[in-house]
Structure 1
Amino acid sequence: MRTVTATHASRGFSDLLDAVEHGDTIAITRGGRVVAEIRPAAATTGRALREALSRVPRLDDDVESDVVAATALLVPDESDPWRVG
């Protein structure tokens, strides 16, 4: 990640945007500490979401029963002496 001062960023903002458009992330410093980062925007279109979801592996057929079993573990034990309520 490239780091630039706030002064440099304000004077060369167009160049920074060009770098970000090509995938770079830029840290902006003021007084020697990072105060901001400029990074490429996340894809926000429906098409981008569909494409991202198409790369996620399909869940197996037992996932519903796994979720039910895991949720049952979250129910408080009635014999718990520390249970409030």
Structure 2
Amino acid sequence: MRTVTATEASRRFSELLDAIEAGEAVTVTRGNRPVAEIRPARRRTGRDLREALAQTDAPDDGFAADIAGAVGSLAQEVADPWRDA
């Protein structure tokens, strides 16, 4: 893992991003102590979502009714203030 000072990171930010985009992880230091680690962003997939959902409890019985109520409130017609003017 590459280490750079905060000053160097600031001055060469574009170059630093290029290295990170290429897969490199970078530690940023300030006053000789690490303050940040910057790594390539992890791409999220449908598999990630399925795994996250598998770790949650199933919705309760009122969930479907709550969703229907929310959708119903969105579907209500809103008065057009310009039509009656």
Normalising by the smaller structure, the TM-score range is 0.5 to 0.7
SS of the equivalent of 1:43 reads coil
Within 5 Å, which residues of 2 pair with 1:1-85? 1-46=1-46, 49=48
Count, aligned residues: 50
Q: Which runs of 5+ in 2 are unaligned?
A: 52-85
Q: Shift of the alpha carbon at 1:45?
A: 3.2
> Could you state the TM-score of these two structures normalised by the residue count of structure 2?
0.53
4+ runs deviating over 4 angstroms: none
CA–CA distance in 1 between the matches of 2:21 and 2:48?
20
Q: Which runs of 5+ in 1 are unaligned?
A: 54-85
> Could you state the TM-score of these two structures normalised by the residue count of structure 1?
0.53
SS of the equivalent of 1:18 reads helix
Q: Shift of the alpha carbon at 1:43?
A: 1.2
Percent identity over the alignment is 62
Q: Is the 8 A contact 1:43 1:49 kept in 2?
A: no
SS of the equivalent of 2:7 reads helix
Indicate the residue corresponding to 1:57 in structure 2. Answer: none
- Aligned letter for 2:3? T
- Aligned letter for 1:5? T
